[in-house]
Homo-oligomer: A and B are copies of this chain.
């Protein structure tokens, strides 16, 4: 079986499987983006989270939460209200940690060049920690990730370690990050549309999948157009906020 036939088989298998996430559906804020990708023959999404604020009841030392003994006290993809967080915190027995987790999206790509295009669009949109993985069997995956997080220990062995004033302050920041993340998703959607249009001109017609709806995860189409403009201007801040800020740099290829 040639590579493109094998890719089509993988894609069909993947998108016809049930959604195995706890939530069981694609997050609303990312449905359009997921559809845009799955409508193209050269891409399909294998996992996604639009971005969320979570409160996890961790181990006994505030260390990284392990799946098996991880307690989800709160999960929201919308701005978090203080009272909800307080209620959730009161249920904590271990070390509760508040996290803001930005968009994470895994997209399998037919060719490396497809992953390259998607990668540059992701970085251009502010998702600077995105990267490509190439598996032994040649499966090429792009992981879309942002540098834009928050991880704040709030309680120790069930005891709250911060004031209510601090929780107010923290939630304002977490909610701002959630909004900024949403703007970046819209920017990503628009940048991707433009990149795919440019590419289509120099691409065989059949690359645009006619049966697009069968690849839409059978999720409701989100109404309303994404508003973020395709410009690097908006994410200058993010680009300035570089992982490499002040780290040991010999040279960094301008155009790598």
Instruction: State the Cβ distance, A30 to closest chain B Cβ, in Å.
Output: 8
Chain A 4-28 residues near chain B, CB threshold 8 A: 10, 13-15, 17-27
User: Per a CB cutoff under 8 Å, which of B63, B243, B247 touches A21?
Assistant: B247
Copies of this chain, count: 2
B-side contacts of A68, CB under 8 Å: 240
Determine whether A182 belongs to the interface, using a CB cutoff of 8 Å to chain B: no
Determine whether A241 belongs to the interface, using a CB cutoff of 8 Å to chain B: yes
Chain A residues within 8 Å of B, Cβ to Cβ: 10, 13-15, 17-27, 45-49, 61-68, 70, 72, 75, 104, 106, 108, 112, 115-116, 119, 129-137, 139, 141, 143, 145, 147-153, 156, 161-163, 165-166, 169-170, 172-173, 176-177, 180, 217, 237-238, 240-253, 255-256
Closest to A161 in B: B166
Cβ A137 vs Cβ B255 within 8 A: yes
Cβ A131 vs Cβ B130 within 8 A: yes
Cα distance, A132 to B115, chains bound together (Å): 10
Cβ B46 vs Cβ A253 within 8 A: yes
Cβ B150 vs Cβ A248 within 8 A: no
Instruction: State the Cβ distance, A242 to closest chain B Cβ, in Å.
Output: 7
Cβ B153 vs Cβ A251 within 8 A: no
Residue from A47, A68, A141, A177 with most neighbouring chain B CB atoms (10 Å)? A47
Cα distance, A153 to B175, chains bound together (Å): 14
User: Per a CB cutoff under 8 Å, which of B64, B65, B119 touches A133?
Assistant: B119
Cβ A46 vs Cβ B249 within 8 A: yes
Cα distance, A129 to B149, chains bound together (Å): 14
User: Per a CB cutoff under 8 Å, which of B131, B238, B252 touches A131?
Assistant: B131
Closest to A154 in B: B166
Cβ B173 vs Cβ A61 within 8 A: yes
B-side contacts of A153, CB under 8 Å: 152, 169-170, 173
Cβ B66 vs Cβ A237 within 8 A: yes
Cα distance, A251 to B47, chains bound together (Å): 7
Closest to A241 in B: B64
Cα distance, A173 to B156, chains bound together (Å): 11
B-side contacts of A13, CB under 8 Å: 251
Closest to A61 in B: B176
Cβ A134 vs Cβ B112 within 8 A: yes
Cβ A21 vs Cβ B251 within 8 A: no
User: Per a CB cutoff under 8 Å, which of B75, B108, B156, B165 touches A256?
Assistant: B108
Cβ B169 vs Cβ A62 within 8 A: yes
